[in-house]
Amino acid sequence: MLAVSLLLSGCGLALRLGYNQGPSLALSWLDGYAEFDDAQTLRVRAALDEWFAWHRRTQLPDYADVLARARSELQGSATAERMCAWSHDLRARFDTAIEHAVPAMAEIMPTLSARQIASIEKRYAAKNDEYRDDFLQRDPAKRKKVATQREIERAEEFYGRLDDAQRAFVVRAIAESPWDGDMAYAERLRRQQDMLSVVRRLAASRASPLEAEAEIRGYLRRIERSPHEPYQRYLGRLVDYNCVYAAALHNLTTTEQRQKAAKKLKGYEDELRALAGESPS
């Protein structure tokens, strides 16, 4: 439930305006990596228009239903098993959205030039610098302090202000968490290099759409389950811990905090239903 709220963070009006501008915003974001030429820009924009139309029509009503179910559960206690079930449900919806984009990705990726692939690599490097600044502070005490504050802010975005006992719980939970920033960063680098290798192969061979789709789906499977087994074992421990943590934090919240969270989800739900029923501006 917390993950759903964070995915939809921001006021309802911003959500509506942002979604209606989604194709343009997504194109700008992608172009920041690949620096598309004119022909590619037209193809990418057409693909994004189609994806957002499909997503609005088929996915937003489902997301609204998810929020309605979350609201119905908010007033009761939570279990780690239920939190993990929510995580699985959200992942399935993410996978559905990505799968619908695969054919368009397979059409565009083989057309990228060496210069454009170098641009993607350069953008990755810049984003990695930001990641290290945000998550990999050299001083362990500072890293823990930043992680704790980030988690408190996430929880308060959903439930409202935490009291002292709740904050103390978050501090302990972060201290005991198996989260390993260096392990996560190494996997991030592996995925980036994997993606660059895929794009280079597709571009070098001018792969057909079917060949490109197969390569892309292989890459997505390696995201779903990393070929680096130590990371995969670590991820399993982290997911299990986070399910326990999320349930325990929820069970510490007050009736007022749960009502605040329910009201927030209701606002998002209403916005999603409105978006699903309106034409893009």
Token pair for residue 123?
């953008």
Q: What is d(CA 130, CA 137) in angstroms, rounded to the nearest whole number?
A: 11
Distance, C-alpha 231 to centroid of its chain: 19
3-state secondary structure of 227: coil
- Give the list of residues 6+ apart from residue 221 with CB closer than 8 angstroms, or none: none
- Give the list of residues 6+ apart from residue 154 with CB closer than 8 angstroms, or none: 2, 6
pTM listed for this prediction: 0.89
Q: Measured on CA atoms in the order 77, 80, 84, 87, is the torsion positive or negative?
A: positive
Instruction: Tell me the pLDDT of the chain (281 aa) as tens digits.
Output: 344 444 444 444 456 667 888 899 899 999 999 999 999 999 999 999 999 999 999 999 999 999 999 999 989 999 999 999 998 998 899 999 999 999 999 999 999 999 999 999 999 999 999 999 999 999 989 999 999 999 999 999 999 999 999 999 999 999 999 999 999 999 999 999 999 999 999 999 999 999 999 999 999 999 999 999 999 999 999 999 999 999 999 999 999 999 999 998 999 899 889 888 854 44
Q: What is the dihedral of CA 166, 169, 174, 176, to 10 degrees?
A: -170
Rg of the chain in Å (alpha carbons)? 21
Ramachandran region of residue 10, left (φ > 0), alpha (ψ -120 to 50) or beta? Answer: left
The residue assigned the tokens 């201290």 is 175
Contact between 203 and 112 under an 8 Å Cβ cutoff? The reply is yes
In 3D space, the residue among 5, 48, 47, 4 whose CA is nearest the CA of residue 25 turns out to be 48
Domain count, the chain: 1
Structural domain boundaries, residue 91: 2-277
Contact between 111 and 40 under an 8 Å Cβ cutoff? The reply is yes
**With helix as H, strand as E and coil as C, how does 151-183 read?**
HHHHHHHHHCCCCHHHHHHHHHHHHHCCCCHHH
Contact between 70 and 1 under an 8 Å Cβ cutoff? The reply is yes
In the chain, what's the furthest Cα-to-Cα distance? Answer: 60
Contact between 80 and 159 under an 8 Å Cβ cutoff? The reply is no
